Amino acid sequence: MKKMKNINLLMSFVIAIFLISCSESNEKKEVNANETTKSETIQDENKIENKVENTEPLVIVVKDLKNGDVLLGNTVVDLDYVNDGKFTLGLDGELTLNGKLTMNQENGEIMFFPKKEDKKAIFKVKDQEYSLFLWTGMRNKKEFLAAISPEQIKAIESFEDIPTTIVIKNYKIFVSTEDFYIGADADFIRFE
């Protein structure tokens, strides 16, 4: 009788383990199915994005530029090329960029930061690609700040980003990888 109880107990234990393992297997299949669906969705979204934004960014070879050249519909000005890691490049004309208003934590200024996806042009420094359009401070700060609502300024000061489209002119980029500095400034025209 005791032997029979042990066999029944053992059988119950084996059945319980079997049921638990089946349950975990089904959960894993559900997780894998969900991961596959998410992966396919991301791939589908990327295909859509690639179809919508079917243009490759312009790759700029800074050493080949000269003042007076036209780049993205703007005239190259104030070009001071030392090497691929140290140069200044200005664009005379208007540019419309998508991005966000954000707080520069180093100096406390409100700046414009372009979307990473909105790479209209890139340049290379020591095998690394950088967007031509970077953190951008505005030279005409008074006009720039006057165009931002008090609510938006308060949000930015609380380190919230404000999505925006901005029109600027006289964009200038400063690159010095030796000094670990890459930045830009421009004249603010308006928000769209």
Instruction: Give the model's pLDDT for residue 165.
Output: 96
CA distance 163 to 100: 4
65 and 22 housed in the same domain: no
Query: Comparing C-alpha atoms, which of 133, 138, 139, 189 is closest to residue 166?
Result: 189
- Considering only residues 32 and 51, tell me which one the structure prediction assigns the higher pLDDT: 32
CA distance 130 to 82: 17
44 and 75 housed in the same domain: no
Mean pLDDT, residues 56-84 taken together: 91
50 and 62 housed in the same domain: no
36 and 111 housed in the same domain: no
Amino acid at 60: I
Cα–Cα distance list, 174 to 27, 88, 168, 171 (Å):
54, 5, 17, 10
Provide the residue range defining the domain that includes 64. Answer: 58-191
49 and 67 housed in the same domain: no
Query: Does 21 have pLDDT greater than 90?
Result: no
CB 101 within 8 A of CB 110: yes
Where does the pLDDT of residue 50 fall: very low under 50, low under 70, confident under 90, or very high at 90 and above?
very low
Phi, psi (deg, nearest 5) at residue 129: -95, 140
- Considering only residues 74 and 11, tell me which one the structure prediction assigns the higher pLDDT: 74
Q: Which of 11-20, 22-31, 114-123, 149-158 has the highest mean pLDDT?
A: 149-158
Where does the pLDDT of residue 117 fall: very low under 50, low under 70, confident under 90, or very high at 90 and above?
low
Phi, psi (deg, nearest 5) at residue 154: -60, -40
Q: Which of 44-48, 61-65, 143-147 has the highest mean pLDDT?
A: 143-147
Tell me the percentage of the chain whose pLDDT exceeds 70.
Answer: 70
The answer to which of 126-130, 141-145, 177-181 has the lowest mean pLDDT is: 126-130
Where does the pLDDT of residue 6 fall: very low under 50, low under 70, confident under 90, or very high at 90 and above?
very low
Query: Does 27 have pLDDT greater than 60?
Result: no
Which domain-ending residue is among 12, 38, 54?
54
Where does the pLDDT of residue 118 fall: very low under 50, low under 70, confident under 90, or very high at 90 and above?
low
Which domain-ending residue is among 54, 72, 91?
54
- Per the structure, the count of domains in the chain is 2
93 and 155 housed in the same domain: yes
Which domain-ending residue is among 32, 54, 76?
54
CA distance 13 to 98: 63
Instruction: Give the model's pLDDT for residue 112.
Output: 95
